[in-house]
A = this chain, B = another copy of it.
Amino acid sequence: MDKSGHDKIAVAVDFLLFTIEDDRLKILMVRREQEPFQGLLALPGVAVAQEETLAHAARRCLEEETGITEPIYLEQLYTWGDDCRRDPRGRVISVSYMALIPREKLTEKSGKRVTEVFFAEVDQLLAPESQLSFDHKEIIAYGRERIRNKTAYTDIAFHILPEEFTLPQLQKVYEILLGKELYKANFRKSIQDMVADTGKLRKEGAHRPSKVYVRKSSLKKQMIEREEIVL
């Protein structure tokens, strides 16, 4: 203990960056280059610096790994510190943050990092036979659960799509996030207040073209969880 009466503990931020690719829910992972868990997959993370807010640490982690600097939807998930042995090097508690981005936002990696970083399929990571570092499997499962819950109440699904999208696209996103199929007519009624027709059309194959929509900004759905848009 120091004079302030506190033990000092290492604080880390783990980042869950979700996206959809090939109609699958994916999450950004890194391959660990050092012990412990060398060679295994892990969530990207950084140590929180002395003079840095938690959200800023999360933001910095995102930039280091992906080069993304623009504003992004960011939400604190949970703080994990129950297993004092999670990091053999010493006591670490980790605050997990979650974000959703459209796959296109991450093209060429302009991150400073040399480490291997890529999107991995969430279902595969959560399979019983997969082995991840630390308690990251549990954290990912918790993040996916949060997404499922919030997709039903809020508009988080839109964060995973580009500005313009079609309703079949939007429905697919909802289905992937919720993990179940939806009825087209009912789905459209449920989201009709959240979208605005742009008048454009988009041709996709040997069938009727779909209308192109944008998200209406006038949503007042109240969030259950605290959330932050880091600018």
> A89 — nearest CB in chain B belongs to which residue?
B4
Given contacts A4-B90, A11-B9, A149-B224, contact A79 B95 (CB under 8 A): yes
Return the contact of A5 from the options B6, B47, B54, B91 (Cβ within 8 A). B47
Query: Please, what's the 1-or-0 string for A93-115, where 1 marks a CB less than 8 Å from any CB in chain B?
Result: 10100000000000000000000
Given contacts A76-B78, A76-B79, contact A7 B50 (CB under 8 A): yes
Tell me, yes or no, whether A8 is within 8 Å of chain B by CB: yes
Tell me, yes or no, whether A62 is within 8 Å of chain B by CB: no
Given contacts A4-B89, A5-B47, A11-B93, contact A53 B76 (CB under 8 A): no
In the complex, identify which listed stretch (A22-30, A80-88, A165-173) lies at the interface while the others stay far away.
Answer: A80-88
Tell me, yes or no, whether A48 is within 8 Å of chain B by CB: yes
Q: Could you tell me how many residues of chain A have their Cβ less than 8 Å away from some Cβ of chain B?
A: 38
Contact A53 B82 (CB under 8 A): yes
> A92 — nearest CB in chain B belongs to which residue?
B6
Tell me, yes or no, whether A51 is within 8 Å of chain B by CB: yes
> Complex Cα distance A142/B223, Å?
12
Given contacts A79-B76, A82-B54, contact A48 B224 (CB under 8 A): no
> A56 — nearest CB in chain B belongs to which residue?
B82
Given contacts A79-B95, A149-B224, contact A84 B7 (CB under 8 A): no
Contact B54 A79 (CB under 8 A): yes
Tell me, yes or no, whether A52 is within 8 Å of chain B by CB: yes
List 13 extra interface pairs beyond A4-B87, A51-B84, CB under 8 A: A2-B10, A4-B89, A6-B90, A7-B10, A7-B49, A8-B8, A8-B9, A9-B50, A11-B11, A53-B83, A54-B79, A54-B81, A79-B95
